[in-house]
Amino acid sequence: MFAWNDPDAGLKVAVFGSGGGIGRAFVAELASRPGVRRVYACSRTAAGDDSQPGADSVTRIATDVGSEAALEKAAAEIDGPLDMILVASGVLHTPEVRPERRLREFDPDAMLEIYRVNAVAPALVAKHFLPKLDGGRHTVFAALAARVGSIADNRLGGWLSYRASKAALVMALKTIAIEHARNRPTSLVVGLHPGTVDTPLSRPFSGRVPKDKLFSPEQSVRYLLDVVDRLTPADTGGHFAWDGSRIEY
Ligand SMILES: NC(=O)c1ccc[n+]([C@@H]2O[C@H](COP(=O)([O-])OP(=O)(O)OC[C@H]3O[C@@H](n4cnc5c(N)ncnc54)[C@H](OP(=O)(O)O)[C@@H]3O)[C@@H](O)[C@H]2O)c1
C-alpha cells in the first residue's frame, strides 16, 4: 500500500509509454496525488499537457523503450530511488499491420516487431530500471500485459502475434520476479490487464464492446492503482486484471 495521500511520503514513479492513452492517464492521476513527489514521464515524444493539476511534479524524459542505448540514457536522467515503475507501452496494430484473424494472414516480420515492442522492451526497461527501485521500501514494477496473453484463457484464437507477445511478456515478468525477489523480498514484479480501454490501440476493435465494459483511460488507471495497492509480496510474478482478479497463465 502506497501512502498516496501523505505529502511527506515523497513517492517517485516512472511511467514508460507515457504518450499513449493509458500511459498519459497514469501520469495525470499520479501527479494529482499528494503523496507523489515526482513522476518521470518517459516517452518517444516528450510532449505532455503541462496545464494539468500536478504538472509541476512531472519530469518529461524522451526515450524509446525499444532501444537499450536510449533507456541507459534515461536511467542516468532519473534521480532515484523509485517507488514504482509502470510500463504502459505496447502495440496491437500499426498502419501496415492488422492483428491476424487467420493463420494465412500471419507475417513473421510483423510478429517480430510486435514481440520487440510488447515483450522485449518491457524486459529491457526492467533490466535498466529495477536496480533503481528503493531497496528499503515496498516497491512495484508493473507492465501492462493483456488477458489475451493468457494461454489458459484462449478460447477464441486470432490475434496470433499480439497474444503470443503478451504471453511472452507474462513469462518474462514471472522469470524476472523470481530473480528480483531473491534480493528484494518486499518488491513486486507483475503484469496488469487494464480492461478494454478507449485508446488508439483498442479503437478499431472496440465498436461492439458494451458501453459499461469500455473504460476511459482515467477509469482504468484508478482501478489498476487500487489493484497495485492490494498486492502483497506473495503476488509477485502474477498477472492481474483491473478488478484485482488473478489471470491464469
Ligand atoms: N487499450 C486497451 O483496451 C488495452 C487492453 C489490454 C491491454 N492493453 C495494453 O496496455 C498498454 C497501453 O495501451 P494503450 O491502449 O494506452 O495504447 P496506445 O494509446 O496505443 O499507447 C501505446 C504506447 O506504446 C508506445 N509504443 C507503441 N509502439 C511503439 C514502438 N514501436 N516503439 C516504442 N514504443 C511504442 C507508445 O508510447 P510513447 O508514445 O510514449 O513512446 C504508445 O503511445 C499496451 O501494452 C496494451 O497492449 C491495452
CATH number at 11-241: 3.40.50.720
**Mean pLDDT, range 150-160, rounded to an integer:** 97
- Residue ID of nearest Cα to ligand 1 atom 24: 89
Contact 102, 159 (CB under 8 A): no
Say what the pLDDT of residue 79 is. 85
What is the tens place of the pLDDT at every residue in 15-74? 999 999 999 999 999 999 999 999 999 999 866 666 666 789 999 999 999 999 999 999
Alpha carbon separation from 40 to 11, 21, 64 (Å, rounded): 11, 16, 14
Q: How confident is the model at residue 136 (pLDDT cuts 50, 70, 90)?
A: confident
Atom of ligand 1 nearest to the CA of 44: 41
Which pLDDT score is estimated for 55? 81
- Of all protein residues, the one whose alpha carbon is nearest to atom 31 of ligand 1 is 117
Ligand 1 pocket: which of 199, 220, 242 to mutate (most atoms within 8 A of CB): 199
Q: Mean pLDDT over residues 146-153, rounded?
A: 98
Residue 87 CA to ligand 1 center (angstroms) comes to 9
Does the Cβ of 201 fall within 6 Å of ligand 1? Answer: yes
Q: Kindly tell me if the per-residue pLDDT of 80 is higher than 90.
A: no
Lookup: cell for 201? 490501440
The whole-number average pLDDT for the span 213-226 is 97
- Are 119 and 215 contacting, i.e. CB atoms less than 8 angstroms apart? no
Q: What is the DSSP string of the chain?
A: ---TT-TTS-EEEEEESTTSHHHHHHHHHHHTSTTEEEEEEEESS----TTSTTGGGEEEEE--TT-HHHHHHHHHH--S-BSEEEE----S--SS----SSGGG--HHHHHHHHIIIIIHHHHHHHHHGGGB-TTS-EEEEEE--GGG-STT--S---HHHHHHHHHHHHHHHHHHHHHHHH-TTEEEEEEE--EE-STTTGGG-TTS-GGGEE-HHHHHHHHHHHHHH--GGGTT-EEETTSPBPP-
Q: What is the pTM of this model?
A: 0.97
